[in-house]
Structure 1
């Protein structure tokens, strides 16, 4: 037997031992890791009219779709003639309200969720903040 052939024959058991170490190990008890993750993107069939209002500032908020953040179009209502500083506070408060709101039925059926708690408020600028 040639030295090359001898090394090849010795390499086979070593390779078999290494390959048996790769894989999923058996457990003594059954395990449940939940459903397999889905790569299907969340999408609405059409524009969600329940989340749109006729007038206001168009904004985008981020909702959870499975384990990813997805932008959703919203509208924040701000009364006409509101001063700029007050307007910014109202838009920021509207964004927080939209984030904390439960997704519409169409969004829920598409897989959208939110985990922002309700009751968050925007207090406005501090006395020394720039305009």
Structure 2
């Protein structure tokens, strides 16, 4: 009787040690992102700092492999209607700023690095009004960074009437312009941003 009990116990230990019957493999398995305790609840915007040209803007940050909007207070200009390029640069600075303490505690981060720069349409090259040129090709940015930029710009005067953003690289002779749209799919899966651009005819 004791032998049977001991045998049963050894069998149970062996089963647990073998991972409940699942064999190990040397092939990496993508099980998705690790579970996160981040709330991804955008913090309530604080009272905007007073001063001419300071407004509340919405930018997109990363949380749990998605991009979600948060409110920030940004300095634009003293002009009542700033140029799209001025708006784009002010928003880019916000995307490059580290998350606030409240944003960080909620799990937010940014992939937009400090070296990213934006200029307006190339003169004499046929660029449409509202086109923006980055100092690198859009598809050379991290996919999350590009998704952040596209979705942040799409809700402002930087975008066209259909909320699409036209971006290109620094060389107007070689770098074609592409039109990007902030879709629900892009917000849920920012990795698609780098392949989502449509050539501007």
TM (norm. structure 1) is 0.58
In 1, distance between residues paired with 2:78 and 2:39?
38
Q: Any idea what SS the aligned residue of 2:41 has?
A: coil
The alignment of Structure 1 onto Structure 2 pairs a total of residues equal to 101
**Higher relative contact order at CA 8 Å, sep ≥6: structure 1 or structure 2?**
1
Match of 1:49 among 38, 46, 51: 46
Match of 1:70 among 68, 71, 91: 68
In the alignment, structure 2 segments of 5+ residues that lack a partner are 1-20, 130-201
Q: What is the aligned partner in structure 2 of residue 81 from structure 1?
A: 79
Say what the alpha-carbon RMSD is for the aligned residues: 3.4
Match of 1:122 among 118, 122, 140: 118
In 2, distance between residues paired with 1:83 and 1:65?
32
In the alignment, structure 1 segments of 5+ residues that lack a partner are 1-22
In 1, distance between residues paired with 2:46 and 2:115?
25
In 1, distance between residues paired with 2:105 and 2:67?
16
- Structure 1 contact 76–91 (Cα < 8 Å) conserved: no
Q: What is the aligned partner in structure 1 of residue 58 from structure 2?
A: 60
CA distances 1:99-121 after superposition (whole Å, capped 9, x unpaired): 11100011111111111111322
